Amino acid sequence: MQLLALIGAAFLVYWVLTHLGFVFGLIFAFAKFIILALGALVILGIVMQMISGKKDAENTDQKTAEDPIDEPPADRTWFEVLGVSEFASPDDIKRAYRDLIRQYHPDKVGAMGEKIRELAMRETQLINAAFQEARLSRGF
């Protein structure tokens, strides 16, 4: 009787180890496949990003007639940027600043595309710098 129990226990251990090994083997084989597939997707994504980056770099170097966005001249004075007279009152300067910020703030054009947002960001920075220069030069 003890010999049958010992043989049964040995067979049970053998069966569990062989089947668990098979199950773990499948799991590891599947995990290897997933890791390889994810690695391939990452590499493909990097390659696609590099290709699109080259295309974007080529497109930004070429100015076309359809491109409505022109860089504002950097040598404009604060009163030219704000659209006021050089001798405008502080209230007129503040009013012009608020009107321009309302028009060009990036939050206002958030849904209009990346180029428009970039233009709005640059213009807002230019307007803010002009207003700060006006405040410093006029003392308000």
- Report the pLDDT value the prediction gives residue 94, as an integer from 0 to 100: 92
For 74, 75, 94, the CA distances from 84, given in Å and listed in that order, are 17, 16, 10
CA–CA separation, 86 vs 134, rounded Å?
A: 9
- Report the pLDDT value the prediction gives residue 74, as an integer from 0 to 100: 62
Q: Is the pTM of this model over 0.85?
A: no
- Report the pLDDT value the prediction gives residue 27, as an integer from 0 to 100: 72
- Report the pLDDT value the prediction gives residue 59, as an integer from 0 to 100: 56
Tokens coding 107:
């939050």
Tokens coding 86:
């050089």
Identify which of 79, 63, 74 has the alpha carbon closest to the alpha carbon of residue 130: 79
- Report the pLDDT value the prediction gives residue 56, as an integer from 0 to 100: 58
Report helix, strand or coil for 112.
Answer: coil
Tokens coding 48:
């696609």
Q: Which residue has the tokens 């010999």?
A: 3
Could you state, in chain order, the average pLDDT of each consecutive group of 10 residues for the chain (140 residues)? 85 79 73 77 82 63 47 72 89 92 81 83 90 87
CA–CA separation, 5 vs 68, rounded Å?
A: 88
- Report the pLDDT value the prediction gives residue 50, as an integer from 0 to 100: 80
CA–CA separation, 126 vs 74, rounded Å?
A: 9
Q: Give, in degrees to the nearest 5, the angle at Cα 102 between 140 and 121.
A: 95
